Structure 1
Amino acid sequence: MKGPLLILIAGILWGTTGTTQAFASESAHPIAIGAARLAVGGLFLMGIVLATGKLNVTNWPVKRVALASLSMAFYQPLFFTAVTRTGVAIGTVVAIGSTPILSGVIEWLVLKKRPDSIWWCSTFLSILGCLLLFINNESVHVDSMGLIMALGAGLSFAIYTLVSRELVENRSALSVVAVVFTSSAVCLSPFLLLYDMSWIWSIRGAGVSLHLGIMATGIAYLLFARGLIHVSSSAAVSLALAEPLTAALLGVFIVGEYLSVVSWMGVMLLMLGIGILVWSSKGSGVGKEGGGINEKWRQV
């Protein structure tokens, strides 16, 4: 149960992102917020790993680290651009909903491991719940480029999850996320020069940046990485659908948003889908692949 619970907590922390951004200044561009989030998170993680003396980068697979870093760096602008072009509902559903499917397909093709029936059932219920939760909140606007961006965001997170799972098998999870997110922050650093960042120096801006960087990025992804040791990548991204569930509930109880009956049905389906995966972990380990993952990656 340790792995699924760690990933659920990570998903809950990610779910606070939307509510936190609602308190940011109106002058703060979403992509600038994403870049600041990675910068703070990367510095926080690297500071911890240096303070504890656990940083050891000898014999690391450089290509794997670069792939994980680029995947996380691409996810931020792809997701925010998708939401801007095609709306919050469609952008979120396509990006978050496509991630478990893409992860399962990649896992099937790369690791030759076919997801079991429990994963398919829970993922279907969770994606359907996500669809009902968001699709009823605004008028539907479909933009082809926005859809491509959303699918790109889903693919980026799926690749990050699969590669990270390989990295944490033989290395400290703290070292992995510190190196990956510091590298991702460097990749996105040009955005800090392209957008107005004066908002970050206010008390409210600093609070938003610190929460997004430390809690919703540093601690959340550290928990996610440690959970990946015990959980397959496809199951992990399905469990991470706790993010939109948390975001919706925080929107209701903190921001004062209204959820329709259809949206509440989506909440129930999301909880059911996630609950099935957590319940199945008691006896099956939620798709642990064993020690053959490194060999399969080397063959690829």
Structure 2
Amino acid sequence: MENNHVHVTAPSSARVGLLSVMAAGLFWGTGGLAGALLAERSGIEALAVAGYRLLIGGGLITAWLVFSGGLRALRTGPAGRRRLLVIGVVAAVFQACYFAAVELISVSLATLVTLGSAPLLVIVGESMIGRRRPAGRMTAAAGVALAGLTLLVGGPGDTSSGSVAAGAALALVSGGGFAVMTMLAARPVAGLPVLPMTGLAFCLGGLVVLPAGIVAGNAAVELQPVNIALLVYLGLVPTALAYTLYFAGLRSVPTGVASLIALLEPLTAAVLGALVLGDRLGPVGISGAVLVGVAVILVSNGESTTSGRTRRRRVAAARRQS
């Protein structure tokens, strides 16, 4: 009976996972502002920002693992090494395609296509893998989120039809990369914990993207205190911390739910843009922000209810056996 009491009072892993994914979305929302300030102050290319983000974020995690002895205890087999390689390459493609899309079209449209397509691709992918239809709540939440994201970030702006097509295609590839990372990270590999996976894979991704940024143009950052602080923040909070929380949350939160909660990123970025940069959302943008918030609450409450029912069924079954 004492054991049953522990099951009732202990916080569920699903609830902790939800909070982890929500925190990741909020932290990601600060990354756009930090990256924009870094690019504006130093004049570096968008690809260089992406490369620094991955390399510094992965490097900070790896340094912590070396300091704490986490790497010495790592015993990963061929499956783990393949996972590191795939996550690293996918992260590089995801970041590179997104920032390349930003160069061709507006940040708003690149964000719309990337983050709008990712939850839909995850839901479709998981439905095909599991050979089941997505739940009605998920479908409704995805529709509400897509509508809200469209209103929140706006339209394509002043760009030619050719650049819009190319930029939208790159953003769609970026959204697919995020969807693949989400589905892969939700499937643990024996001997490869979340922290080493994130750190080592992102180091690899940064080593892939940063040279491309150097080839594309200026990647040199003047070592001023503000620039150093922006680099450290960009690598630490919206990269190392956010992705570690997101990947850890995926161990207990369904991938479709997590990808929809990740839409807290543009919502946070829009709020910060209004507060820090003086951007005006307007009635349409505010309506979009509300819809995105409603979608996040819809899937979060649904997941909490489902996990609560599952936990109560397990406790009742344990009591009947005792």
TM-score (norm: length of structure 1): 0.89
2:278 is aligned to 256
Indicate yes or no: 2:208 matched with 1:190: no
- TM-aligned CA deviation for residue 41 of structure 1: 0.5
Distance 1:214 1:276 in 2: 30
- TM-aligned CA deviation for residue 200 of structure 1: 4.6
Tell me the alpha carbon deviations over residues 109-140 of structure 1, each in whole angstroms, 9 at most, x when there is no partner: 23435431111111211111110011169457
- Over the matched positions of the two proteins, sequence identity in percent amounts to 25
Give 1:229's aligned amino acid: R
Distance 1:168 1:252 in 2: 41
Distance 1:118 1:169 in 2: 32
Give 1:183's aligned amino acid: L
Give 1:117's aligned amino acid: G
**DSSP-derived class of the 2:187 partner:** helix
- TM-aligned CA deviation for residue 271 of structure 1: 0.5
Distance 1:242 1:140 in 2: 27
Unaligned ranges ≥5, structure 1: 289-300
Tell me the alpha carbon deviations over residues 195-226 of structure 1, each in whole angstroms, 9 at most, x when there is no partner: 42332522222111111101110001111111
1:6 is aligned to 20
Alignment of 1:71-110 (within 5 A): 71-110=90-129
**DSSP-derived class of the 2:77 partner:** coil
Q: Do the aligned residues in 2 keep the contact of 1:35 with 1:185 (CA within 8 Å)?
A: yes
Indicate yes or no: 2:215 matched with 1:215: no
Closer, same or farther in 2 for the Cα pair 1:97/1:263, shift >3 Å?
A: same
Match of 1:162 among 173, 183, 188: 183
Alignment of 1:12-27 (within 5 A): 12-24=26-38, 25=41, 27=43
TM-score (norm: length of structure 2): 0.83
Give 2:59's aligned amino acid: L
- TM-aligned CA deviation for residue 236 of structure 1: 1.1
**DSSP-derived class of the 2:221 partner:** helix
> What is the CA RMSD across the aligned residues, in angstroms?
2.1
* More displaced stretch, 199-208 vs 64-73: 199-208
Alignment of 1:33-44 (within 5 A): 33-44=49-60
Alignment of 1:287-298 (within 5 A): none
Q: Do the aligned residues in 1 keep the contact of 2:48 with 2:209 (CA within 8 Å)?
A: no
Q: Do the aligned residues in 2 keep the contact of 1:168 with 1:176 (CA within 8 Å)?
A: no
Runs of 4+ in 1 over 4 A off after TM superposition: 136-142
Match of 2:169 among 148, 171, 174: 148
Distance 2:248 2:16 in 1: 9
Closer, same or farther in 2 for the Cα pair 1:236/1:60, shift >3 Å?
A: farther
Closer, same or farther in 2 for the Cα pair 1:15/1:146, shift >3 Å?
A: same
Tell me the alpha carbon deviations over residues 61-116 of structure 1, each in whole angstroms, 9 at most, x when there is no partner: 13333222111010111001112212222211011100001111111223435431
Match of 2:260 among 235, 238, 242: 238
Distance 2:257 2:160 in 1: 30
* More displaced stretch, 200-209 vs 75-84: 200-209
Q: Do the aligned residues in 2 keep the contact of 1:136 with 1:260 (CA within 8 Å)?
A: no
- TM-aligned CA deviation for residue 52 of structure 1: 2.2
Alignment of 1:53-132 (within 5 A): 53-55=69-71, 56-61=74-79, 62-132=81-151
- TM-aligned CA deviation for residue 262 of structure 1: 0.5
Q: Do the aligned residues in 1 keep the contact of 2:75 with 2:192 (CA within 8 Å)?
A: no
Q: Do the aligned residues in 1 keep the contact of 2:152 with 2:286 (CA within 8 Å)?
A: yes
Closer, same or farther in 2 for the Cα pair 1:275/1:159, shift >3 Å?
A: same
Tell me the alpha carbon deviations over residues 253-298 of structure 1, each in whole angstroms, 9 at most, x when there is no partner: 1111111100000000010000111111222149x9xxxxxxxxxx
1:291 is aligned to none
Aligned residues: 287
Give 2:193's aligned amino acid: S
Distance 1:72 1:80 in 2: 12
Match of 1:269 among 257, 268, 291: 291
Distance 1:141 1:271 in 2: 32
* More displaced stretch, 218-227 vs 44-53: 44-53
